Amino acid sequence: MVSIKTDDDIIKMRESGKIAAETLVMIEKHIEPGITTIELNRLCHEFILSKGCYPSPYNYKGFPKSICSSVNEVICHGIPSSKHKLRNGDIVNIDITVYKGDFTIDDINRHLKEKKSTDYFPYFYKGFHGDTNRTYLVGKVEPEVKRLVDVTYEAMMKGIQVVKPGAKLGDIGHAIQTHAESNNFSVVRDFTGHGIGRGFHEEPTVLHYGKEGTGMTLKKGMTFTIEPMINIGTHRMKILKDGWTAVTTDGSLSAQFEHTLVVTDDGFEILTLA
């Protein structure tokens, strides 16, 4: 069932979304050759806590870190590691979700020590999640790599721009798929956007491919993410032995961007803007 957010809910979601976006702004200056993804995780974790928020991915369904860091052929859900240093020419996606609610830093630290899923955080019913991600260039990248990142961002924005009351979910996927494939890139099928609010993942499921005029009708107050994953090569993927990391089957590069948005009276509002 899709939840319709009230005006007060949206005010709170703007707060969560803004902090998630500010985390991506903060980490940008640290994206350089030589830094490890576990150090990026530490910096983001400390920044999120300093804002009085909880890093939503931490222990969510067993995920072991506070952010996802997906490098090169990793499509999504890359686990930060001390063994993984960024290199000149890489691309890396940093995926941030924060939860802002009526709790204290002591509550957050207690929950972190207990290592429970955010599903069991007793304070979660009072607040909302904000979810966003961005793909960064590490040093100097090849022109085709930069084109992949640019087209992926454009595809996300083309999907966002069709959002309004009366539009269909399929319109979003069609706009994204058309732009990606017209640039000779492929759209990952196995992961989707999702509803978001008091829950990290809610209904509806937002496909990044599809046909115009199909799927659920959008209504004012719906909140969800649009987060296309676009590959240079095949759209096919596989999950590594860690149970999380998704990679392209042909080793080709993958990029992703994400915003959380709400359907308004006559269009949309992006809630994850710094």
C-alpha R_g of the chain: 18
pTM over 0.85: yes
Rounded Cα distance between 96 and 107, Å, is 20
Question: Is the backbone peptide bond immediately before 204 cis, with ω within 30 degrees of 0?
Answer: yes
> Edge to edge, what strands does the sheet with 186-187 contain?
186-187, 229-231, 254-256
pLDDT band at 122 (very low <50, low <70, confident <90, very high): low
CB neighbours of 237 closer than 8 A, spacing ≥ 6? 75, 188, 190, 246, 247, 248, 249
Whole-angstrom distance, CA of residue 272 vs CA of residue 223: 12
Rounded-to-integer distance, Cα 220 and Cα 233, Å: 37
| Structure confidence by residue, pLDDT tens digits, 12-62 | 999 999 999 999 999 999 999 999 999 999 999 999 999 999 999 998 999
In this prediction, residue 102 carries a pLDDT of: 80
Region 185-205: what's the mean pLDDT?
96
How many Cα atoms occupy the beta-carbon half-sphere of 95 within 13 Å? 26
18 alpha-carbon distance from chain centroid: 14
Burial classification of residue 2, based on how many CB atoms lie within 10 Å of its CB (0-12 exposed, 13-18 middle, 19 or more buried): middle
Confidence of residue 123 (pLDDT cuts 50, 70, 90): low
Residue-wise pLDDT tens digits, 135-177: 999 999 999 999 999 999 999 999 999 999 999 999 999 999 9
**What domains lie within the chain, and their CATH numbers?**
7-270 (3.90.230.10)
**Tokens in use for 113?**
């020590």
